[in-house]
Amino acid sequence: MITIEKQAEIKAKVLFGLAKTYESLLVYKKEKKSDLVILRDNKIVRIKM
């Protein structure tokens, strides 16, 4: 069984990885001048980059 400390460490690593991936996605979308598509209030929204 995984300890609470180990779970917290894994969670922190996953969240850090997601943040870095999101940053690189934004950079890519800006370079390609394409829309960023997100879900906001259960509606699909396109954001011009």
What are the Cα distances from residue 32, in Å, to 25, 27, 29, 36?
11, 9, 5, 11
Instruction: State residue 46's pLDDT score.
Output: 96
Which of left, alpha, beta for 35 (phi over 0: left; psi -120 to 50: alpha)? Answer: beta
Domain ranges of the chain: 4-47
Q: In the prediction, which pLDDT does 1 show?
A: 78
Return left, alpha or beta for 12; rule: phi > 0 is left, psi -120 to 50 is alpha, else beta. Answer: alpha
- pLDDT tens, the chain, 49 aa long: 789 999 999 999 999 999 999 999 999 999 999 999 999 999 999 999 8
Distance between CA atoms of residues 8 and 30, nearest Å: 33
CA atoms within 13 A on the CB side of 43: 4
For residue 36, the model assigns a pLDDT of: 95
